[in-house]
Amino acid sequence: MTLSEPGTDELHYPLPAPDPLDPPKEWAELRDRCPVATVTLPSGDHAQLLTRYDDVKQVLSDPRFPRVGGGQGARISDSGGVFDSDMASALPQSGPAHQQWRRLVMRWFTAKRMAALRPRIEAMADSLIDEMLAHGQPADLKAALGFPLPVWVICTMLGVPDSDRDRFSYWSDTLLNLTRYGRDEIVAAQTEFLGYMQAHVQAKRAQPGDDLLSELTTEPTADGTLLTDAQLVGTGQGLLVAGHETTANMISKMVAMLLADRRRWEQLLADPSLVRTAVEESLRFDANPGIGMPRYIAEDVALGSAALPAGTTVMCSMGAANRDARAFDGAEEMDLTRSPNPHLSFGSGPHSCLGQALARTELQVTLEVLLRRLPGLDLAVPVEELQRVEGLAVGGLRELPVRW
């Protein structure tokens, strides 16, 4: 294999992966021999791909390095989507203003709030499984449970009626997809979503409910200002985009990994107290987490592996970093008891995932309910026949056929 050096064969990103649950074969070699590698993005622009744990963690943790966008840094793709969205720019992306916004929203995602939400999430999972059972086997666990559950939770938090869940699913799909939809479809979906959310925010201002957006219409930030309508819409969009497809896909990938070697599933049946560490290990071991986090290197920086000049766009591969043997013993083994497990799947530092307690709760609840309701769960097709979703900023499986 030829790794990409300037002037040699180009390394196109995202890297192709041969098997549904295994990482691209380049990861190991890149980590060992070329931890800062020039890659060509779908847009044709170039970036430096980081694959070592320490490098990825350092860049993600450094508040000086913002996300790419708004003309700063390389473009990821030509088709728009989440990385080129104007709506997200209504929210402060860095510095004190970002921290104020984050802390305002953060109160909705504390561990305690999530613990209080847990019974509702469990009831949602149970009801979705009831429906799946009613339709008989085999079933697609992604369509029956993995996809609808997180959007149901987010719609509840945003005060959106259950009847609009399907539209929310579609919007989040188009916003995150980098290749499946054309530019026109993406723009149309963004416009539609924007219109819906503007009307929704105004409705919440007029008649507040017991939800996050209603509270944010009246709750000032630390410096006493209220969020504008555009910022409230941006908050809703951010939470949908960040919280739906990520968790939806992770549910299917987690269950697929646990069933691909059924000894893992049986280990959990024998000892359900391992659910927490099994969820963390699934997050670490995910070989298809999406393209990673692009960051704009605003000032010269020295990483462990190399120095990066200001103006560089880097792509942080958390998936590759999570399998770095420099950071994890037995990095290429899935160990459901691993602890501590400081994986980077939620990022690191001041921009690390705001909703990670929610994601953890959803994943833990899903796994607990599946173990309780469907102990005989198994893949309905050979693991090699599972198909990856192509083109998403968030990686996933096309479907997850199961029996029970």
Partner 1 sequence: MKVTVDEDRCCGAGQCVMLAPDVFDQREDDGIVVLLEAEPDAAHHTAVREAADVCPAAAITVHEDS
Residues that bind partner 1 (CB under 8 A): 61, 102-104, 106-107, 109-112, 114, 222, 339-342, 346-354, 356-357, 360
CB of 295 to partner 1, least distance (A): 16
The span from the CA of 49 to the CA of 293, in Å, is: 10
Q: Which CB atom, from 74 or from 250, has the smaller least distance to partner 1?
A: 250
The span from the CA of 11 to the CA of 40, in Å, is: 6
The span from the CA of 353 to the CA of 348, in Å, is: 8
Q: Which CB atom, from 179 or from 356, has the smaller least distance to partner 1?
A: 356
Q: Read off the tokens for 339.
A: 């602890």
CB of 169 to partner 1, least distance (A): 26
CB of 192 to partner 1, least distance (A): 32
Q: Which CB atom, from 98 or from 167, has the smaller least distance to partner 1?
A: 98
The span from the CA of 371 to the CA of 80, in Å, is: 40
Q: Which CB atom, from 295 or from 360, has the smaller least distance to partner 1?
A: 360
Q: How far is CA 219 from the centre of its chain?
A: 28
CB of 327 to partner 1, least distance (A): 11
Q: Which CB atom, from 143 or from 222, has the smaller least distance to partner 1?
A: 222
Q: Which CB atom, from 290 or from 347, has the smaller least distance to partner 1?
A: 347
Which 8-state DSSP code applies to residue 392? B
Phi then psi dihedrals of residue 177, to 5 deg = -85, 130
Q: Which CB atom, from 41 or from 365, has the smaller least distance to partner 1?
A: 365
235-258 in b/e burial notation, b at 16+ Cβ within 10 A? bbbbbbbbbbbbbbbbbbbbbbbb
Q: Read off the tokens for 239.
A: 């939470």
Q: Is 192 helix (H, G, I), strand (E, B) or coil?
A: helix
Q: Which CB atom, from 287 or from 354, has the smaller least distance to partner 1?
A: 354
CB of 189 to partner 1, least distance (A): 30
The span from the CA of 261 to the CA of 158, in Å, is: 38
Which 8-state DSSP code applies to residue 341? -
At position 81, the amino acid (one-letter code) is G
- CB-CB contact of 124 with 154 (8 Å): no
CB of 351 to partner 1, least distance (A): 8
- CB-CB contact of 296 with 313 (8 Å): yes
CB of 265 to partner 1, least distance (A): 24
CB of 62 to partner 1, least distance (A): 12
The span from the CA of 267 to the CA of 354, in Å, is: 31
